[in-house]
Amino acid sequence: VKKIFNLTLGVVTSIGGFIEVGSISTSAQAGAEFGFALLWAIAVAALILAVLAEMAGRVAILSNRSIAAAVRERFGIHLQMIPLGAELIIDLLLLAAELGGAAIAVKLLTGVGFQWWILPVGMVVWLVLWMGSFTIIEDGVGLLGIITLAFVVSVWHLHPDVRTVASGFVPSVPDHDVTRYAFLAVSIVGATISPYLLNFYASGSIEEELTESDLWINRLTAFLGMGFGSIVAMGVLVTAAIVLGPRHIQVDSYEQAALMFVPVFGSWAVTLFALALGVGCLGAAIEITLNAGYLLAQSFGWPWGVEKKRRDVSRFVAAFSLVLLLSMGIAVSGFDPLRMTLISVALTVVIMPGIVLPFLVLMNEEEYVKRHTSGAIGNGLLAALTIVGAIMAIIVVPLEIFGG
């Protein structure tokens, strides 16, 4: 029964993927501008993320190595430096954006400029990581994440036409603003499949001490967890499509996005939206900070783990503290969190083939996954993802610059 509670690892990971500053804004923009037409992008992103998370968990459980450690061991430190550098830059930018997102949530409630809240939010993140164990972090964020179900409740109250909603799962080319449509589709996928999620998920499986007999839990955690996140993200899109779309409100700020709750929750609308945004961003910020520590420690062979005494993993603690401090500096300097998310989404998509290719190798070597190597379907999916990732990498930069 205890191991069933490990499902919260999937929920926490999915909060980082689907319910954070970038994903909420892109889903709301997609819904407000194109109705239900981009639901398929969330579904595709959820499927890809679940497959990759399951594989990352499988490698971690069977080899007791996280993705960063396995890639370093298999390909050497020289090749590892490329994804390490790219992932660290993305982590820095994303963390700054998430801190900004959590600060914007406080601003929605208080009216005080968001830059003033970045230092307190950063301190909260650091204190949680300094004082909490992995289980406390996981269960705490997982439980708080339930507030994000407000997006699903709002869909329930708005009674959308099921057939019209279902039609959004079939990709179609819109009759207007094709560039914007493509930009939002790529942004949804890029904002969801962040590389840090995979390493965080794999490291979490090691912290949870899962064994070969728990592989089914890993599979369940990956698919149910990402299912939770994707349903909430779809809730954001559908609510925005029903409430904001007909009024011709495009989402260029979180104040506009908060209006989507007004018809359903009345005077609780802004509070609920701010709480959902705040919890999502705080959860994602904790996840990214922790992952930066994991990544550096695993790449350079330092001891790591939130379950261990802090003095035994001093370099790991110093690494995540430094990354958090740098991100707080970037966020305080006045960068727009939405703009930072766009840059990190573009970078994520550009390095996606570089993240997926090592997976393809690791998932076929018995040294890492024993007899649980990938079959034709798994390899085919990864190969397709590599090619699609390469194409997306080409189109993402111009789309991000001009389509956004």
Partner 1 sequence: VENTPARQLSSFRLAMGLLTPHAMSSSQFIQSAFSPAPLQTASIQQLWSLTLWGSVVIFSVVVAFVFAAVERNMHRPSNEARSSTSEKVVTRSGSATIAVTFVMLVSLLSATVACRSREQILSEQEKALTSLRATTVAVCEAWLSGAVSSTFARTALQVTQDLLQKHHVTLTASSPDALADPAARSVSESENQLAQTLALLWKGINEGDSLGVRRQLSTVASDQSRFR
Sites for partner 1 among residues 290-349 (CB under 8 A): none
Instruction: List the one residue from 1, 2, 78, 111 that touches partner 1 (CB under 8 A).
Output: 111
Residues in the interface with partner 1 (CB under 8 A) total 38
Nearer to partner 1, 111 or 375 (CB): 111
Q: What residues numbered 147-186 form the site for partner 1, per CB under 8 A?
A: 179
Residue 71 C-alpha from the chain's centroid: 21
The interface with partner 1 within residues 71-110 (CB under 8 A) comprises: 107-108, 110
Whether the CB-CB separation of 152 and 240 falls below 8 Å is answered with no
Among 89, 147, 224, 361, binds partner 1 (CB under 8 A): 361
In angstroms, the CA 372 to CA 377 distance is 13
Shortest Cβ 263–partner 1 spacing (Å): 9
Which residue's CB is nearer to partner 1, number 152 or number 259?
A: 259
Judged by CB under 8 A, the chain residues 1 through 60 that form the site for partner 1 are: none
The binder of partner 1 chosen from 123, 166, 322, 383 (CB under 8 A): 383
Alpha-carbon distance 244 to 59, whole Å? 43
CA geometry: angle 169, 259, 17, nearest 5 deg: 45
Cα(236)–Cα(31) distance, integer angstroms: 8
DSSP 262-320: HHHHGGGHHHHHHHHHHHHHHHHHHHHHHHHHHHHHHHHT----SSS-GGGGHHHHHHH
- Cβ proximity to partner 1: between 215 and 249 the closer is 249
- Residue nearer to partner 1 on the CB measure, 47 or 270: 270
Return the H-helix or E-strand segment holding 136. Answer: helix 134-144
- Residue numbers 209-268 binding partner 1 by CB under 8 A: 247-250, 252-253, 255-256, 258-259, 262, 266-267
250: left (phi over 0), alpha (psi -120 to 50) or beta: beta
In angstroms, what is the minimal distance from the CB of 147 to partner 1? 18
Which of 345, 338, 9 minimizes the C-alpha distance to 192? 345
Binding site for partner 1 (CB under 8 A): 107-108, 110-111, 179, 247-250, 252-253, 255-256, 258-259, 262, 266-267, 269-270, 357, 360-361, 364, 383, 386-387, 390-391, 393-395, 397-399, 401-403
